[in-house]
Chains A and B, each alone.
Chain A
Amino acid sequence: MSQQKSVIQKTTAIFLIVSLLIGLIIGYFIGSATAPAPAPAPTPTGEVVPKSQYDELQKQVESLRQQLQQLSAQQGGKPVEIVITAWTQGPERESIYRHLNLVEAANKLNQIFQATGVPATVKLEGDFSTASWTDYRKKVFLALEGGTGPCIFQMEHVWSAALAENGWIIPLDNYVKKYWNWTYYDIIPGLWNSVTYKGHIWGIPQDTEARPIFFNKLLLKKLGWTDDQINALPEKIKNGEFTLQDMLMVAKEAVDKGVVQPGYGIWHRPTAGPDWPIVYLAFGGTLYDDSSGKLVADMNVWKKVFDWYYLASMQKYKVISDKITSLDFNRDVHPTVVSGKVLFWMGGIWHKAQWVGSFNLSEDMFWKMFGFALYPAGEKGLKPVTLSQPQAYFISKTCKYPEVAFLILTLATDPYLNSLHAVKSAHLAILYSQLSSPVYAQDKFLAMTGYMVEYAKYQPMHPRWGDYNTIIFNTIKGIETGQFNSDQALQVFEQNLKSTLGDEIIIKK
């Protein structure tokens, strides 16, 4: 009896071990088959320095050359070996050029140093992170605080405030002025506002994006709109003729007439993020007071915002579903929008790249189904808006060769290199020359959304902005899930702002 049992036990054990091994082997093959392909390195475009500007170049790198010549003499005449560390972040792999462009820039800088006789060689060592933003930022902040941070790092522009306040980065005004004619004259002027804090420039813009309203053309047609009316919509929004109220009423009409299911009129992201203050900005609100450096909450405008969300919620017009904030972005929200069930989508331009890349939307179908425009003005007399969150490169205070690092950033801020990044990851141009670069201009979508950058507002650069934004998200979540009406929301909102931000915020009534 026990012998039988031990035989059974042995066979079971062997069976389990064998199936475990087989499972491991299958897993290995699946893993290696689905590993992402490495991105190709960009090819350089020939001449780096036109001969005609050679003298000018000599003059500009003169001070740097003298510094490095001194250093090289101290080291016994050998060229100085400079290693610049750089940390960049996606998280999506499509943004790999944020790293590759720095590598290419270092190569170009070596060629310039050779041509102008600067005794130094530059090497760029870096990391491209695909972790979540929260994890990446934590890593960078802790490294900067511990003094082991990289020379160059990329981060969202809003962090200029916190980074500068903590003394972790250096102001770049003098360098920008010195090398203005290399590339900085070409940067779209509004972008400088996104990296200026307390009167100084702290970062170099790396890219930008816009957050438009995508409208479903097929559903509008079902609602009775003509093709001309549909195609004229972005223009009407731009002129301020079509407001958020109008958008709400169109969505209500679609729900009442059964063109969309209740709750599928307007959809937005299910998570916290930069988009939440856009409706407030569309109603003319301001978030930041330059003179005092404090955050601002205009309660009259917030009342209008909460009224709008309350009317749109399932408690009133049934336009915004109460379930959205409990859905999963990739599993539930994107597939629903892509399947054409939603009339208005408050999204970002990179969503087009995601839909075509990962959600089986053909390029053809995208143009047939979706139109895109700015967020309409809140009421007549105001202007349409969008929000951009440019990424920026920063130079840390512990960098041993800040000017060399700055030159790398300058050479990476190049119309061709930046266009490679913009097209691959669906971000917008930061330099005017990019708009006529063959790489960039090919992309019809980027060309048609480029104008939005001029209407773009930015998140306030205050170290406590994150708390303000989270309170906005939580309050709107409460309205949509039916816990608050707009007056209760306003009360809870004000309570939270006061208790969390205290005197860092000015509450205007």
Chain B
Amino acid sequence: MVQRNIAKYTTMAIMLLPAAIIIIVFLATPSILTILISLTNLDYRFRWEWVGLSNYYKFLSDPNTPIFIRNTIIFVAGTLTFNVGVGLLLALLSTHIHDTIGTFLRAVWYMPRVLPSVIWAFVMMWMFSPMDTGFLNSILKSMGGKPVLWTFQYYWPFLFIVNGFIGCSLGMVIFSSAIKSIPQELIMAAKVDGASGLTIVRRIILPLIKWHIAFVVAYQTLSLLASFEYILLTLDGGPGYYSTEVLILQAYHLAFGQYLAAMRYGYAAVFVTILLVIGLVLSIVYWKVFRLRELMIEPKLE
């Protein structure tokens, strides 16, 4: 009996070993190292000197910190809304039209995610360029209108669009496959009862895919907290004084510099550690609020 248990646990352990190694080497160890670095003043001198919590005091007392926090909240909230909203919209649209066209539509909307980020950022910067030579502005001018200062005045909507077009594709794919797996009898029964399309969406489809929505919200919030690639490639924290500088982007700038390599690794690690803590707290909150444990036990939609 005991031997069978040992055999069972050994097998489990061996099965889990590759994944465990990857998690320990690539996730756990760097996290611990980052937290340790935040307690030192590691910089261009590459000397490991413990300074305790003084970096954290500097973070709390720096007048720029509230700006970074405000920007992070705006960025995450706005992009998340765009991602989930547009993802849902696209999923609903593409599943209600002819199957092939729907698939084609989804494939096209998936393309920005597949494009190298530099190219996507380049194209977006050209499209929304505030100069007269920008794509949208040339069209406006040719129609007799005045050029609009897209990236300069409306930088948050611009960032939501740039990041959103990439992010919505994940939601779209997950939601559309969820919608497709709703048993057709439910929809047909509702139609027989005289329900309009909108009612079907509100009363049947959305409640049935609420687990998927919860998952996407949780996943994308955490992913957006650490996402700075597109901000770096497009506005680089501008256009004004730290207008779109989010916490993780400031960490990048501190560590890897904005022309003159700053190499303030110790202080940058503080930002990353704080984001790590926020991420952990949010994960726990989502776990409880969205009852994700239930989600993981049984598949919610066959």
Contact = CB atoms under 8 A, between A and B. Distances in A.
Contacts of A326: 130, 151-152, 235, 238-239
A508 interface: no
A478 B251 CA distance: 20
Contacts of B259: 133-134, 271-273, 466, 469-470
A348 to B, nearest CB: 14
Interface stretch (B61-69, B81-89, B111-119): B61-69
B258 interface: yes
Contact of B241 (A323, A469, A478): A478
A482 B130 CA distance: 16
Contacts of B46: 145, 166
A484 B149 CA distance: 20
A495 interface: yes
Give chain B's interface residue range (CB within 8 Å of chain A).
20 to 34
Contact of A481 (B133, B240, B260, B262): B240
A165 interface: yes
Contact of B238 (A325, A495, A499): A325
A134 B62 CA distance: 26
Nearest to A138: B261
B238 A477 contact: yes
Interface in A120-175: 133-134, 137-138, 141, 145, 162, 165-166
Interface in A442-479: 463, 465-467, 469-470, 474-475, 477-478
A484 B67 CA distance: 15
A278 to B, nearest CB: 15
Contact of B257 (A328, A332, A466, A496): A466
A322 interface: yes
Contacts of A325: 238-240
Interface centre among A133, A137, A323 (most CB of B within 10 A): A323
Interface in A320-375: 322-323, 325-328, 331-332, 335-336
A466 B44 CA distance: 11
Interface string B42-70: 00111000000000001001111000000
B34 interface: no
A165 B45 contact: yes
A492 interface: yes
A166 B63 contact: no
B125 interface: yes
Given A326-B152, A327-B131, A477-B241, A134 B261 contact: yes
Contacts of B126: 331
A203 to B, nearest CB: 17
A495 B261 contact: no
B256 interface: yes
Nearest to B240: A481
Contacts of A475: 241
Contacts of B240: 325, 477-478, 481-483
A483 to B, nearest CB: 5
A331 B131 CA distance: 10
Contacts of B71: none
A474 B261 contact: no
B129 interface: yes
B219 interface: no
Nearest to A484: B241
A83 B49 CA distance: 37
B242 interface: yes
Interface string B154-188: 00000000000000000000000000000000000
A154 to B, nearest CB: 16
A463 B47 CA distance: 14
Contacts of B258: 272, 470
Contacts of B235: 326
A339 to B, nearest CB: 10
A328 B125 contact: yes
B151 A134 contact: no
A499 B264 CA distance: 13
Contacts of A134: 256-257, 259, 261
A470 B152 contact: no
Given A162-B44, A323-B130, A481-B239, 8 more contacts: A133-B259, A134-B261, A165-B45, A272-B260, A325-B238, A327-B131, A463-B44, A477-B239
| 4 smallest beta-carbon distances between A and B, as pairs | A466-B260, A478-B241, A326-B239, A481-B240
25 contacts: A133-B259, A138-B261, A166-B46, A272-B260, A273-B259, A323-B131, A325-B238, A325-B240, A326-B130, A326-B152, A327-B130, A331-B125, A332-B131, A332-B133, A466-B259, A469-B260, A470-B258, A470-B260, A470-B262, A477-B241, A481-B239, A481-B243, A483-B241, A492-B241, A496-B63
